[in-house]
Amino acid sequence: MASAYQSYQTIERLQEAIGQEVTLNGWVYDTTGKGKLQFIKLRDGSGIAQCVVFKPNVAEEVFEAAKSLTQESSVRIVGTVRAEERAPGGVEVDVKEIKIWQIAKDYPITPKEHGDAFLMENRHLWLRSTRQHAIMRVRATIVKAIRDFFDGNGFTLMDSPILTPAACEGTSTLFETEYFDLGKAYLSQSGQLYGEASAMAQGKIYTFGPTFRAEKSKTRRHLTEFWMVEPEAAFFELADDMDLAEDFVEYIVQTVLKHRQQELAALGRDVTKLEKVRRPFHRMSYTEAVEWLNKNNVKLNRKQADGTEIQVDFPWGEDFGAPQEEALMQQFEKPCIVHRYPTEVKAFYMKRDPENPKVALAMDMLAPEGAGEIIGGSQREDDFEALKERILSHDLPLESFEWYLDLRRYGSVPHSGFGLGLERTVKWITGAEHIRETNPYPRMIYRIQP
């Protein structure tokens, strides 16, 4: 006897079963009655199949069962598959038997429109809708593409811990918890520091897992819990890091195009835009970007002491906000890497450019179509004294970073890496309006249910 995962017929493969009798298990997505004719749209997680019950052809109790079905009731249907032009997808099931697992009463999400708050309160049910189903399938494909890319290019998976003793980039945005007798522990906001140690052991590594930011950000680009993949490679300089990032993002996008056309179509995504995501991407230095902003009259809103706002030329040294990034990207159809940011606006572990100590060997990748920053990375400081001085000048506790400094004591080498935010990448590729749709159970500043 075959086990359930082998024997039960999935709707995805119904085309192959034309002429055969099949058994389908699933949930009622929609019903329509037409007198002696009942249509049941059955959803089984793999797809949706139209099932038809015609009164003269079935036993009385089967027709009554069909009439009693409500949205999201769970059923097993036995019937014959046949080609039918009038049915969506070109096939339908001529129903012979119905077994009702459970009748659902008053399913809250109807085929009509709903508000954001309502859908988020019912996130556990919203996931059943066609749109959310498609986004989750694209997400799963992106995750697989990420793993395949690194696994296939000599990177070893070396996951970093989630519970950490100290901050990676300052403590202001960390979730805190008690850790037995050892005091406070924090949820990791990046696996990078551990990733660097791992790279010194394996050469090329990547970490992939959830990260946590207690930032009080309330925008359509922010989650407090999100997944990040962070490659780190010994002997990589900034140029290598940027090449890697371009290859990687191109691979992800092209893999989704190859395997998820159906889902992208269901989402109404303009795939011609994604087809253009081919190397080489655009690149410009931070300094060039500032010049571009000022040449194109993209001003910065600055608050005065009296509370009023004035518009000023973008000053060199200030970090870009979402409005600057968006303005910059409007000229491009492909992602753009902006590199060599001012040292002051970047993290302590980034190496300074030997040719210009005012800038760090940092790079961000901005995605087109308003998607914004998806990658942040850098070449790391590999000089012991320079790194130690940076830790102290950032008021970070030196004793917490002794192990990290060891990486510069024992065989320090140039090395680089970056972090790619999974949900932001899913948002860009699916064209989702809001990042809350890109994670099955998103955590946001004002929402932790369900």
Partner RNA sequence: UCCGAAGUAGCUCAGUUGGUUAGAGCAUCUGACUGUUAAUCAGAGGGUCGUAGGUUCAAGUCCUACCUUCGGAGCCA
As given in the structure block, the two tokens for residue 329 are 């990207």
> Should residue 92 be labelled a site residue for RNA when binding is judged by CB under 7 A?
yes
Residue type, 175: F
> Should residue 321 be labelled a site residue for RNA when binding is judged by CB under 7 A?
yes
The span from the CA of 416 to the CA of 431, in Å, is 30
Whole-number minimum distance, CB 411 to RNA, in Å? 26
Strand duo 415-421 + 372-379: pairing: antiparallel
The span from the CA of 28 to the CA of 76, in Å, is 10
Instruction: Decide whether 1 or 54 has the Cβ nearer to RNA.
Output: 54
Q: Specify whether the CB–CB gap between 53 and 37 falls below 8 A.
A: yes
Instruction: Decide whether 233 or 374 has the Cβ nearer to RNA.
Output: 374
The span from the CA of 382 to the CA of 413, in Å, is 6
Distances (CA, A) of 118 to 73, 106, 398, 435: 21, 15, 47, 16
Indicate which single residue of 228, 242, 249, 387 sits in contact with RNA (rule: CB under 7 A).
228
> Should residue 440 be labelled a site residue for RNA when binding is judged by CB under 7 A?
no
* CA neighbor of 422 nearest in space, from 248, 283, 262: 248
> Should residue 215 be labelled a site residue for RNA when binding is judged by CB under 7 A?
yes
Whole-number minimum distance, CB 7 to RNA, in Å? 27
Q: Which residue stretch of 131-139, 145-153, 198-206, 209-217 sits at the interface with RNA (rule: CB under 7 A)?
A: 209-217
Indicate which single residue of 60, 113, 181, 355 sits in contact with RNA (rule: CB under 7 A).
113
As given in the structure block, the two tokens for residue 157 are 């998976």
DSSP string for residues in 228-270: EEEEEEET--HHHHHHHHHHHHHHHHHHHHHH-HHHHHHTT--
> Should residue 218 be labelled a site residue for RNA when binding is judged by CB under 7 A?
yes
In whole angstroms, how large is the CA radius of gyration of the chain? Answer: 27
Indicate which single residue of 4, 7, 115, 183 sits in contact with RNA (rule: CB under 7 A).
115
Positions of E strands within 384-426: 415-421
User: What residues contact 52, with CB distance under 8 A and at least 6 apart?
Assistant: 37, 38, 39, 40, 87, 92, 93, 94, 95
* Residues 406-435 contacting RNA, CB under 7 A: 419-421, 423-424, 434-435
Which residues sit opposite 25 in a β-bridge?
76
Whole-number minimum distance, CB 193 to RNA, in Å? 12
Whole-number minimum distance, CB 382 to RNA, in Å? 19
Indicate which single residue of 374, 387, 396, 407 sits in contact with RNA (rule: CB under 7 A).
374
Whole-number minimum distance, CB 217 to RNA, in Å? 3
> Should residue 335 be labelled a site residue for RNA when binding is judged by CB under 7 A?
no
User: What residues contact 162, with CB distance under 8 A and at least 6 apart?
Assistant: 187, 188, 209, 210, 212
Whole-number minimum distance, CB 443 to RNA, in Å? 10
Indicate which single residue of 64, 148, 288, 319 sits in contact with RNA (rule: CB under 7 A).
319
Whole-number minimum distance, CB 15 to RNA, in Å? 16
Instruction: Decide whether 37 or 284 has the Cβ nearer to RNA.
Output: 37
Indicate which single residue of 167, 375, 391, 432 sits in contact with RNA (rule: CB under 7 A).
375
> Should residue 21 be labelled a site residue for RNA when binding is judged by CB under 7 A?
no
* Residues 57-86 contacting RNA, CB under 7 A: 70-71, 84, 86
> Should residue 395 be labelled a site residue for RNA when binding is judged by CB under 7 A?
no
Q: Which residue stretch of 201-209, 214-222, 239-247, 389-397 sits at the interface with RNA (rule: CB under 7 A)?
A: 214-222
The span from the CA of 151 to the CA of 425, in Å, is 19
Question: In what order do the strands lie in the sheet containing 336-339?
Answer: 156-157, 204-212, 225-234, 415-421, 372-379, 362-367, 336-339, 282-285
* Residues 340-369 contacting RNA, CB under 7 A: 345, 364
Which residues sit opposite 82 in a β-bridge?
92
**Size of interface with RNA, in residues (CB under 7 A):** 67
Q: Residue 144 burial by CB count (10 A; 0-12/13-18/19+): exposed, middle or buried?
A: middle
Indicate which single residue of 201, 310, 322, 398 sits in contact with RNA (rule: CB under 7 A).
322
As given in the structure block, the two tokens for residue 55 are 């009164």
> Should residue 443 be labelled a site residue for RNA when binding is judged by CB under 7 A?
no
> Should residue 376 be labelled a site residue for RNA when binding is judged by CB under 7 A?
yes
* Residues 31-60 contacting RNA, CB under 7 A: 32-37, 39, 50, 52, 54, 56
Indicate which single residue of 3, 4, 6, 111 sits in contact with RNA (rule: CB under 7 A).
111
Whole-number minimum distance, CB 24 to RNA, in Å? 16
Is residue 33 classed as helix, strand or coil in its secondary structure?
strand
The span from the CA of 363 to the CA of 341, in Å, is 7
**Which residues are near RNA by CB under 7 A?**
30, 32-37, 39, 50, 52, 54, 56, 70-71, 84, 86-88, 92, 106, 108, 110-118, 120, 173, 190, 213, 215-224, 226, 228, 319, 321-323, 325, 345, 364, 372-376, 419-421, 423-424, 434-435, 446-447
